[in-house]
Amino acid sequence: MSREEFLRALREGLSPLSQEERDAAVRYYEEFLDEAQDEGVAIEELGDVRHIVERILQDSGVVAPKQAPQAGAAVPAKPAPFYRSVWFWLCVVFTLPVTLPLALGLAACALGLGLAALALVIGLGAGALGLVVGLFAAVLAVFLAGVVFCVYSFYLLPASGGVFLCLFGGGLALTGAGLLTGLGLICLLRALFRAGRRRRRPAGPKPAPNGSKAS
C-alpha cells in the first residue's frame, strides 16, 4: 500500500469523527511517515489501516471497545431445534388434514406409475411370446396344408392326372416353404438367445501378451 492509499483509507475510515479530530489524526501519521526512512517499511510496521481506524474511534468514544466475556459469566444457551418447538407440532397437527391426503395421493401416483411400468414390461414380453407362437402356428399351418394337398392329390389321381400334378406340386411347395420357414425361425431364435447370453456373461480376464507367462 502506498502513502496516498494509506492516508486516503485512514481519512475515509475516520469519517465519524469531527473535521478537527480527523485532520489531527491524519497529520500525525503524515508526520510519522515523513520522519520514516522508508515509507513502505513504515506502513507495513503500522499494520492494517482498519485496525488503526478502529483503535482511534474507540479512543475517541465513537465505537465501544470489544469486551471479552468474563470468567464465570453465563454463556447464552443455543436455541432448541425447530422440531422441539411447540409451535412446530401445532402447525403439524393443524396442517395434517391437508398434508396427509396430499402425501397419500402422491404415494398412490407413484404406485400407479410403478404398476403401469410393470404391466408395460409384462405386456411387451407377452406380445413377443405371442408373436413367436403365432409365427410358428402359421408355419405349421402352411406345412400341414402342403401335406394335405399331397395326400389329397393321390385321391384325385385316377380321375385326372393334371389335377394330381397341380395339387401334388402345390403341396410340395407349401410343405417345403413351411419346413424352411420353420427352420429359419428356429435358427433366428437360437441366434438371439446366444446373443442375450453373451451380453449377460461377465467379461473374462484379458489374454496375456505374446511371449509373457501368466503367473
| Predicted local distance difference test score (pLDDT) of residue 73 | 46
Determine the Cα–Cα distance for residues 58 and 13; give it in Å rounded to an integer: 12
pTM of the model: 0.35
pLDDT tens for the 215 residues of the chain, in order: 788 888 888 888 888 888 888 888 888 888 888 887 788 888 888 888 888 888 888 887 776 445 444 444 444 555 555 555 667 677 777 777 777 777 887 887 788 788 888 888 888 878 878 888 888 888 888 888 888 878 877 777 777 777 777 878 887 888 888 888 888 888 988 888 788 777 765 544 455 455 444 44
Asked whether 62 and 17 are in contact (CB, 8 A), the reply is yes
Neighbours of 139 (CB within 10 A): 20
pLDDT of residue 81: 58
Sign, CA dihedral 11-13-19-23, equals negative
Predicted pLDDT at 116: 81
Nearest CA among 204, 147, 144, 136 for reference residue 171: 147
